Amino acid sequence: MNNSEEGKIIKNFYYLILIVIALYLAYLLKDVLIPFALGGLLAYALSPVVQLLNSRGLSWKLSVVIVFVAILVFFLSLFIFLVPEVISQFRTLTFQWPQYSETLIEKIIEGLDKLDERYPDSNISQAVESFLTNISTNLQNYLTHVISGIPNLVSILANIIFLGFIMTPVALYFFMADATKVRRSLVRLFPPSRRREYIALLREIDQVLGGFIRGRALIALFVGTCASVGLALMKIDFALAIGVIAGIVEVVPYLGPVLGAIPAIILAATKSPWLVLGVILLFGGINFVEGIFISPQLLGKETGLHPLTVLFALAVGGKLYGALGLIIAIPVAGILKGLLSHHRKTNKLKTNKLSSTS
């Protein structure tokens, strides 16, 4: 092994140690880092709007101020008019869920009793009743445990939200205002001989990451809004809360639409089978429009993040870092995807050069 190869191994080993230390520090400081992560992601998602205003003749600072004020007004409006109602619906839904589950079980048992009358030797209703009773008991115990932990949860969330209200807007503003400086600082980290190569890498990561984050945010907004409006028109209880759930879980490929529809289907089943059919048609229609018309336009083929990659990233991020992990999971997956793609291209170019010289 020559000195240059040994030097590369030592350098890579140092980089690995730095990455491990950074991950460990992120784990220790995950609660503090959440506002900065949110601010950075918002700034990244809004950067095309700032660039658009800047290209129309406005100064960069004025463009940042306009976007910052607009997004601040938007979120303040949400927290004043929408969030209290959503929290109220979630709280009521949590307390009333056992009643809904019992009503649903009673309706199912009534239907099975009729089946037993037709087939008296089947004993289907007894088996299903026992199974559903066990599920109901376990669910009720779980909800009781959740409800008993609400005071502690509210205290923790209050601290995070208080910190977030102060730090997230500050982080958002400075991330947007100093975006050019941040990019230049990143470029200066690379050796001059390879800066062009790394700039191309950053652009590739931006294409994958930016397309996915902005596209998924708009899709979640579309699904959540349509679900809330549709459920409200059908007189389904807690339409706003269920719409918020549907929008949030939409980020999870394949499972998202199902997870969003389940609470609405259960609530509808306590009223009428036709209402269940209506809810299924509503969510089916929303996801048909989203999958056929909206996703191809917003996400396109350039994102390159496979659904299994997204699922794995969310699972690992949530397990390791909790809320912070769920926020940064997809961005990190996008960055790794860009790095791997760049590494393959670089190796391919080197192989082609070696084969052409030999």
Q: What is the pLDDT, as a whole number, of residue 302?
A: 47
With contact defined as beta carbons under 8 Å apart, do 331 and 209 qualify? yes
Query: Which alpha helices (H) appear in the chain, and where do they start and end?
Result: 3-28, 30-55, 60-77, 83-118, 124-148, 150-177, 179-188, 195-233, 239-249, 255-269, 273-289, 295-298, 307-357
Q: What is the pLDDT, as a whole number, of residue 282?
A: 94
Task: Return the SS3 of 306.
Answer: coil
pLDDT, tens only, 156-194: 555 555 555 677 777 878 888 877 777 777 777 777 777
Cα dist from 170 to 62, 72, 91, 181, whole Å: 16, 11, 31, 17
Half-sphere exposure of residue 98, counting CA atoms within 13 Å on the CB side?
14
Q: What is the pLDDT, as a whole number, of residue 281?
A: 94
Tell me how far apart the alpha carbons of residues 210 and 44 are, in angstroms, rounded to a whole number. 8
**Overall pTM surpassing 0.75 (yes/no):** no
Angle at 86 between CA 291 and CA 238, to 5 degrees: 75
Tell me how far apart the alpha carbons of residues 37 and 325 are, in angstroms, rounded to a whole number. 10
Q: Which residue, among 53, 141, 59, has the nearest Cα to 101 in the 3D structure?
A: 141
Cα dist from 129 to 181, 198, 244, 358, whole Å: 65, 63, 32, 76
What residues contact residue 33 under an 8 Å CB cut-off, 6+ apart? 26, 324
Q: Which residue, among 261, 242, 269, has the nearest Cα to 102 in the 3D structure?
A: 269
Tell me how far apart the alpha carbons of residues 237 and 265 are, in angstroms, rounded to a whole number. 11
Residue position matching structure tokens 């809360």: 241
Tell me how far apart the alpha carbons of residues 335 and 339 are, in angstroms, rounded to a whole number. 6
Q: How far is CA 239 from the centre of its chain?
A: 20
Q: Give me the residues of the chain with pLDDT under 70, please.
A: 1-9, 11-13, 15, 111-165, 208, 253-255, 296-305, 323-324, 327, 347, 349-358
pLDDT, tens only, 90-132: 778 777 777 777 777 777 777 666 666 666 665 666 666 666 6
